[in-house]
Amino acid sequence: MIKPNFMYPAPFLDTIDYPEYSMDFIVTQSTTTPADKPLKIVQTEKNEEDVTASETSPTLTAEDILGESAELKEKIEQYGSAKILKALRSAELEKSLKPFQAELILMQKYLERSKRRMIILFEGRDASGKGGTIRRVARYMNEKHYRVVALGKPTDATRSQWFFQRYVEHFPRGGEVVLFDRSWYNRAMVEQVFGFCTPEEYKVFMKGVVGFEKDLVRQGPILVKLYFSVTKAEQKRRFERRKNDPLRQWKLSEVDLQAQERWDDFTNQKYEMLKRTHSNHAPWTVIRSNVKHEARLNALRTILNSVPYERSNMDIDYVPDPEVVISGSREVEQMEAERIRRGKFTS
């Protein structure tokens, strides 16, 4: 038999476990309820050989449980069973990331001991899941030894400098990890599509970035380049959610609002970027991000596999899902095949 142990995550369901042989329903009291103990209803199921004639207690049905627990019934009516199940599912997905997040802490300790530096680039279209993945990567890490860098629009002063200078200023010191929420590859994608750089500036960047990264890696830092790839339909769905959710509206910008109209332009730039800047010393890793949890999980795997630290948990799977993670060169091959079949890029 299976024993689900339901407890409400915020604001009412928290976690779920599965020990064996009985069924417990634990209903926590509201903070406004005067009772000082949780309401606990226990239903036990046993094997047939363990049941005796003296055991005459009736089996509790779902209706019985709801009848005895007014608070549980009230919560279901208030939030709906679909929302409760969604909250449970979300809590379980977040829980499944924790073993990998624990390994990230060990990876970070290795970097601290060895004084090695690490740079992780998070690139991709708007609403492709970069920010959510960064939050999962950094959630439990030692904040003294990592930084998230998300640079804004360059000033007139920085535009007059060497292009890479404003990024180099944020590079990690020994034992530190820096996560770039968009990076110097803005010039290859957003700036080129919207005309924020001149054709000559774009040409100079594409000609020099491979050498820049080769010199960077030669000096010791671990460089991980992640590109999050989302479909047009999924990007549209996420934009609509942002428009209608007051807690997410801040994420929408003028550039975001034009992303769907400029989809083909971004696709062409994605192809050029991957084809010309994927190299042996600084390869691209493409992550299919339509399913956010799978993208986050496989990004954690990719990051852990890039550092030669000593793993502690051998019960988890460190191998990225090939349906979610592919190399930049393989993505280019698939895009070229797609263009031959359909006459243009569609991804």
CATH 3.40.50.300 fits 93-342, yes or no: yes
The predicted structure's pLDDT at residue 57: 52
What local confidence, expressed as pLDDT, does residue 252 receive?
79
The span from the CA of 66 to the CA of 61, in Å, is: 9
Give the start-to-end residue ranges of the domains of the chain: 5-79, 93-342
pLDDT at 256: 80
Low-confidence ranges of the chain (pLDDT < 50): 1-56
pLDDT at 299 (0 to 100):
98
Question: Rounded distance, CA 321 to CA 301, Å?
Answer: 9
pTM: 0.77
Question: Can you give the length of the chain in residues?
Answer: 347
Backbone angles phi, psi at 343, to 5 degrees: 90, -10
118, 221 Cβ separation under 8 angstroms? yes
State the pLDDT at residue 212. Answer: 98
pLDDT of residue 151: 96
Which pLDDT does position 246 carry in this prediction?
A: 85
| Per-residue pLDDT at 257 | 80
For 254-278, what is each residue's pLDDT tens digit? 778 889 999 999 999 999 999 999 9
Give the DSSP letter of residue 254.
H
Residue-level pLDDT at 187: 97
**Beta sheet of 39-44, edge-to-edge order:** 13-17, 5-8, 22-27, 39-44
Which pLDDT value is given to residue 254?
Answer: 77
pLDDT of 24: 39
